[in-house]
Structure 1
Amino acid sequence: MVRTLGAYPSGWRHPGAHKDPQTDAAILREVARLAEDAELDYLFFGDWLATGPDLEFRDPYLLARIDPVSAVLSLAAVTERIGLIATVNSTYADPYATARATASLDLLSGGRAGVNLVTGAEPRAAANHGRDAHADNETRYDRAEEFVRALRLLWESWDADAWVADSASGELIDARGLHPASFAGTQVRVEGPLNVARPPQSHPPIVHAGTSPRSRALAATEADLALIAAGDPAVAAATRAELRALAAAAGRDPDDLKVIVPVLPVVAETDAAARAIVDRLLLLVPIDDGVSSHARRAGFPANRSLASFLDVAGIEPGDGVRAASVDDAVSPSTAARFAEPAARTLETVRARTGRDLGGAHPVTWRHLIAAHAVPANFVVGGPATVADHFELWRDAGAADGFNVLSAFQPAQFEAFTGLAVPELRRRGLIGRTGATLRERLGLAAPRLLRAPEPVASGR
């Protein structure tokens, strides 16, 4: 899951991290090379159709980023094997243009294209597309369902044997093998045919993520990959079982729906070295410490202060703790009074940074404020620890695969591919092969909407 400015909000501040979107082209090529050499299945590019100063603190990687379709088209020219998945927002995109771009990508990459269809969650996107308001959930999913059908019909415009190219007879195409889409829904209309040759995969794999019932239904009926967010393998296993059951009820083979979970591994040669990286990332999160100017800027999150965390911890305003410096150590006696959410944050910080209450390496209030305000599903450790996590989830039936995030680029992705991947390969958890992305993901041939007509004799 490629985020050039890193997947953790303070990642760009880590020494040596990439932090200039104007030089994204170089980092994208480097990430693609590392991913392909490591035999990962695909590069995944998300999207966001607006920007604003508030994103600097919440999600810096969204502030300025290359259009995902443009990114994968550029990388198709410098890669040979890895899949390339670009996000398209069906609420605002044109289905014909999307079919054309994705079919072109599939042809240019030799069958390595995929498309992640989203319906959008950013209200500011509406104004950027000439609309007064972002559509409600039901309307967006009504359009998404029609969008997928139009997309598939357009991809099927050309039969596999429609291009004849018979020099002797002068017949270039068999016109019977060229079909209009002829789709007219309540929100989407396309006529077709598509003016791009049939994609090598017929249908590039479709990806979808979401938590609403409509989103789950769309994923179960139309997606090849369903992205779910879950921090616990039991929760993920239950969600995966639900999606597979919905797919089976829709007449699909549930094995053709792969459930993918995002994971944020912080990798180093040893567990201690990895914990030190997380420690530094927490210390680099901008918080209201009473000194820096961050808190006075527009869009600064209100939950990044000592007072905010102490409210979560259940520490009363009259308590002397509220006069502490954010860099003071947290005392065991104060920690013993924490309400459950704050106690959970404390345990997370202790496990992920190696810090403790008291001693030479104590937990400070700054650590707790940052960890609570900017939560992340870190998996922290050396190669064996990271591989243990992947193996545990696989064995629990919690996921068919993972979208790997990197806290900062390129060093953390280099650490994952150079340190964790060899251990994952040794355990048989990575390294599938296939000429196309569908084959690499273990997907069957797509379900065609237009059944091929019998070939006439003499053709």
Structure 2
Amino acid sequence: MTEPLIIGAMVRTLGAYPSGWRHPGAHRNPAGDAAVLRDIAREGEEAGLDYLFFGDWLATGPDLEFRDPYLLARIDPVSAVQFLAGLTSRIGLIATVNTTYADPYATARALASLDVLTGGRAGVNLVTGAEPRAAGNHGRDAHADNETRYDRAEEFVHALRRLWDSWAEDAWLADAERGVLIDPDGLRDADVRGEHVRVAGPLNVARPPQGRIPIVHAGTSPRSRALAATEADLALIAAPSLDDAVATRRSLRADAVAAGRDADGVRVIAPVLPVAAESTGEARRIVARLLELVPLAEGHQVGRAAFPAGRTVAALADLWEIAPDDGLRNAALDAPVTPAEAARLGSRGEALAARLSAIAGLSVGAAASHPLTWRHLVAAQAVPAAFVVGDAARIADHFEEWRDAGAADGFNVLSAFQPGQFEAFTRLVVPELRRRGLLGRDGRTLRERLGIAAPALAAR
């Protein structure tokens, strides 16, 4: 029998789609994140999801309002999982740590503490950072280059594991009669002396229940892929298509084997952005509304220095190499795209129109019941998103298709807006996933839920 998928939620309180916060009823004030996090944790745990995942970004700026609003102001991920530790009892809690700027001892200590306090539900996503503004926030003149960041990341992983191995499993004796609390031979230094990371140890937290806390990593560069294949328990991929995902998973597993690991030692997780509703028609209307709410270069945005370029019909025409004297450049954003205009868009425009028709039911021509407008085209081009849209059966079909094709071992579920779309997933889609045997993994600890064997204590 095929085992269930690994299914977690990637938590973004302001929503994963840039216009999600504008949707009616959506959460839009970070000052109220505590209540939203409580609700997400309750929903996720009752639904039987395997984990909640918290990403990070170490800087902010006005440009993020239009590109990724959820990054503007967000709770520190380690603080978020500590906040939820006492409010949950079963679900895994994965926090992101940036190895370029974090201290390995403090990181190992915080995560070991979380693992002890939750009975083995901690996980850590290690990133090297792509935001250059983070350097100034950490007293540095410039963000390190890719090679240097990954050199440090590899040493960082080594340091974490040495620190988590500080205590042998039988080091804590607690023999009251003899007055012997520990076996001193079971307490060991980390003794890491790398080019970028140096830490003495031992760690002053008891051995984590999971032994070594599961490590997550995502990225597309060769160094990132190498780190995921050799060190990660979960490898997060960003594959634009089913075929790409199949090839990426196959490559990561082969790289893991080449590094001396079991192929199943690294679980490949793909992102998914479901827009779910009671009916496919209702779900399509939600997507159409999200596209309509994407900020474009209209009068109310004029003069905003941080507003991104490319959110105009003219920019779309340039991208598709439409002649400057073609009247398409002067089309009104809210005017329907006519069949004649659609015919002049070229193959890329036709492909985008077809995709919007498939996911949002938007059709070319003013007479259509849900006409495709230039606003829809510009928004979809400016903010590409791999929506999976429909009722519970349609969303579950996507999960099942990717599993059966060998494209992923599981999914990170993103919600376009909170709380509505997360609740739609947990209350509508989850029962269908369970009915098909796609959800419902066993395990007391996160490592057990992921189906990844605990490593033996390293010899010293």
Which TM-score band (shorter chain)? over 0.9
**Cα distance change, pair 434–306 in 1 and its aligned pair in 2 (3 A):** same
Native 8 Å contact 2:190 2:200 kept in 1: yes
Find the aligned partners of 1:357 and 1:342 in 2 and give their Cα distance.
12
Which of 407, 422, 431 pairs up with 1:413?
Answer: 422
> TM-score normalized by structure 2?
0.96
Native 8 Å contact 2:314 2:330 kept in 1: no
Native 8 Å contact 1:309 1:369 kept in 2: yes
Q: What is the CA deviation profile of residues 168-215 of structure 1, one whole-angstrom value per residue up to 9, with x for unaligned ones?
A: 111111101000001100000000000000000001100000111111
Counterpart position of 2:183: 174
- Residue 196 (1) aligns with residue 202 (2): no
- Residue 15 (1) aligns with residue 59 (2): no
Find the aligned partners of 2:376 and 2:396 in 1 and give their Cα distance.
27
Counterpart position of 2:70: 61
Native 8 Å contact 2:168 2:457 kept in 1: no
Find the aligned partners of 1:340 and 1:63 in 2 and give their Cα distance.
36
Find the aligned partners of 1:450 and 1:96 in 2 and give their Cα distance.
20
Counterpart position of 1:215: 224
Find the aligned partners of 1:351 and 1:30 in 2 and give their Cα distance.
32
In structure 2, stretches of 5+ residues that fail to align are 1-9
Aligned-residue offset at 1:306: 1.0
SS across alignment from 2:60 = coil
SS across alignment from 1:207 = strand
SS across alignment from 1:78 = coil
RMSD across aligned C-alpha pairs, in angstroms? 0.9
Native 8 Å contact 1:57 1:300 kept in 2: yes
Matches within 5 A, 1:24-63: 24-63=33-72
Find the aligned partners of 1:51 and 1:381 in 2 and give their Cα distance.
34
Which of 428, 433, 443 pairs up with 1:434?
Answer: 443
Letter in 1 for 2:326: D
The percentage of aligned residue pairs carrying the same residue is 70
Aligned-residue offset at 1:61: 0.1
Matches within 5 A, 1:92-111: 92-111=101-120
- Residue 134 (1) aligns with residue 138 (2): no
Say which is worse superposed, 438-447 or 381-390, in terms of deviation. Answer: 438-447
SS across alignment from 1:16 = coil
Counterpart position of 1:366: 375
In structure 1, stretches of 5+ residues that fail to align are 452-459
Find the aligned partners of 1:191 and 1:396 in 2 and give their Cα distance.
46
Find the aligned partners of 1:266 and 1:224 in 2 and give their Cα distance.
28
Counterpart position of 2:353: 346
Find the aligned partners of 1:447 and 1:222 in 2 and give their Cα distance.
15
Find the aligned partners of 1:355 and 1:145 in 2 and give their Cα distance.
47
Find the aligned partners of 2:269 and 2:64 in 1 and give their Cα distance.
26
Native 8 Å contact 1:287 1:295 kept in 2: no
Which of 235, 249, 252 pairs up with 1:240?
Answer: 249
Aligned-residue offset at 1:447: 4.7
Native 8 Å contact 2:60 2:71 kept in 1: yes
Native 8 Å contact 1:153 1:450 kept in 2: no
Find the aligned partners of 1:207 and 1:379 in 2 and give their Cα distance.
24
Counterpart position of 2:4: none
Native 8 Å contact 1:162 1:175 kept in 2: yes
Counterpart position of 2:309: 302
- Residue 337 (1) aligns with residue 316 (2): no
Aligned-residue offset at 1:281: 0.1
